[in-house]
Structure 1
Amino acid sequence: MSGLLAHMGTGVTTTCRCWALTRRDGVVMGFTDHDRALAFEGVAFRPDTGLSALAVQQSTGLSVDNTEALGALSDAAIREADIEAGRYDGAELRAWLVNWQDVAARALIFAGTIGELRRAGGAFEAELRGLTDALNVSLGRVYQKSCSAVLGDRDCTFDLDTPGYVSERPAEVVEETRVFRFGEVGGFEEDWFRHGVIRVLSGAATGLIGLIKRDRVEGMGRVIELWQPLGAQVVAGDALRIEAGCDKRMSTCQFKFDNLLNFQGFPDIPGDDWTITDPTKSPALDGGSRR
């Protein structure tokens, strides 16, 4: 930072902007608006991507910093198919102001995530949200009958790699990237995977996850249907990981997963009907007189 300030103080500057984008699947991409490649912090910043940024809006306090990035869709950089598949949703992004003659003289001017991403006419426009955007997320417990945990998270603690709860197998017949048909999935009763997920481990859709809507037996085969199509093609032979599902009920937690001690719901809280009931319209609730 001090090196960049000294450079800016000379009155004649050689600065550019660099962006490092880290997708949730671990892929790291570097861009710069300079006319030649730069490299620092283990990232190569490419000049041939057509990426540029608008002014960064920054403020004091807890207001969310925001800006936008514009660029051209390219098979060598950001592809429309990857945007459609959701690979850039929630990706982390850092931006620097850099002295391109001495990349050690640089300053981080923005850090955050990609919000809304739009594409049209061979180009894309991405909304960038600052780190304080995370403060808009609601925190705390919700008092509800069903479990509030996600199967396998730190509140649930259930190990999904436990034998009998996961099936890893190649795709066989895939319809509209939403319906998966298998010749046989032995050892799992019908609806075992309902409310679970399919993770794609190889092929064009590697890293994508689909939520399971139905799991049924048809003849000698098995049909697993997703709520929504995956964002990329899955073909026969692609490796899949199918994980058992949880419908958030206490009985499921107890008998299907043997995990009742970690159940995060409140099944004994009276419902809304009980709270508005009066003695003249219901049987005695506590033994008291109704006259």
Structure 2
Amino acid sequence: MSRVWFSQSLETVATFWRVARRDGVTLGFTTHDGDLWFDGVLHRAVPGMLPSAIRRSADLEPDSAEVEGALSHDSISTADLAAGRFDGARVAIGLVDWRSLERHVLYRGAIGQVVEEDGRFNADLVSRKAELQRDPVPRTSPTCRAAFCGPGCGLSAARFTHDARVVGCGLDTGIIALEGIAVTQDLVAGALRWLDGPLSGTGSEIAGVSGNGVVLSLPLDVVPPTGTRVRLREGCDRTLATCSSRFGNAVNFQGEPHLPGNDLIARYPVANP
């Protein structure tokens, strides 16, 4: 039998919320005056954010919620917010009995837009029910719809993943010089992930290559120290020719390269001279 919360005049109930970032870090907070340990996560009693409003609906419309707070806790900083470490993080908000640790989740979603001003932040939460509004029907495309080495592609990510170390960085040029890897055009349109240093856990798209380095699509805010470890994933231009000649994977190509496009409708006959 499930518990009926707030049925008594006095209850030992606190609010908890848990943030699971995409870089693997999970943070827990609670409104109780002492830390609580449950679900394998330490929920700290000195929170950096508070749930300000939660609205749940009985239909398929997405639930709405907001969190706000001061940038006071060590685990929530302006630098991490600016670096996008909390973008897309999964959030669970609920009630917990701080004596028995019985708990109930009220809201599940992900962090959407984050606004920081005067040492405080406000984050909009996107409900998981928002996924029901996504159109699952694929659209025709001359290029492959599958993510490289993802579902539908069939290729092994380990074959096209390489570890290297940073030997130089140009903030003005966006070029990251590397050692321990042969830099080739195969890395273009790929991804670079930082394994340690100040950017640990974040990633960048590779826009090009230059000498023994790669050119990132977006400039860096900080200079990674020499020796920082990175992991690179090769890229794919999603064309049938590349899928066939470079990867030998045309059988799994998720596109329609020979389907006539909309320009066919605009064509008109031209008399032979």
Question: What is the identity, as a one-letter code, of the residue corresponding to 2:207?
Answer: K
Whether the 8 Å CA contact 2:17–2:93 is kept in 1: the answer is yes
Alignment gaps of 5+ in structure 1: 284-291
| Secondary structure of 1:82 counterpart | helix
| Secondary structure of 1:81 counterpart | helix
CA distance in 2, matches of 1:183, 1:9: 63
Q: Which residue of 1 aligns with 2:170?
A: 175
Is 1:23 aligned to residue 21 of structure 2?
A: yes
Structure 1 stretch 74-83 or stretch 245-254: which is displaced more? 74-83
- Deviation of 1:50 (Å): 4.0
- 1:63-85 per-position Cα deviation (integer Å, ceiling 9, x unaligned): 11111111221352211211122
- Deviation of 1:175 (Å): 1.5
- Deviation of 1:185 (Å): 4.8
Provide runs of 4+ in structure 1 moved above 6 Å. none
Correspondences of 1:1-291 after superposition (within 5 Å): 2-3=2-3, 5=4, 8-74=6-72, 76-104=74-102, 106-162=103-159, 165-176=160-171, 178-182=174-178, 185-186=181-182, 189=184, 191-217=185-211, 222-230=212-220, 233-279=223-269, 281=270
CA distance in 1, matches of 2:178, 2:90: 37
Max radius of gyration: which structure? 1
- Deviation of 1:118 (Å): 1.4
- 1:40-93 per-position Cα deviation (integer Å, ceiling 9, x unaligned): 222221111242211211111111111111122135221121112211111111
Whether the 8 Å CA contact 2:46–2:73 is kept in 1: the answer is no
Report the TM-score when normalising by structure 2.
0.90
Whether the 8 Å CA contact 1:85–1:232 is kept in 2: the answer is no
After superposition, the CA RMSD in angstroms is: 2.2
Report the TM-score when normalising by structure 1.
0.85
CA distance in 2, matches of 1:10, 1:168: 58
Q: Give the direction of change, closer, same or farther, for the CA distance of 1:228–1:268 in structure 2 (3 Å limit).
A: same
- Deviation of 1:143 (Å): 0.7
- Deviation of 1:230 (Å): 4.5
| Secondary structure of 1:135 counterpart | helix
Whether the 8 Å CA contact 2:209–2:215 is kept in 1: the answer is yes
| Secondary structure of 1:55 counterpart | strand
- Deviation of 1:30 (Å): 1.0
| Secondary structure of 1:155 counterpart | coil
CA distance in 2, matches of 1:117, 1:2: 35
Question: What is the identity, as a one-letter code, of the residue corresponding to 1:250?
Answer: L
Alignment gaps of 5+ in structure 2: none
CA distance in 2, matches of 1:131, 1:262: 30
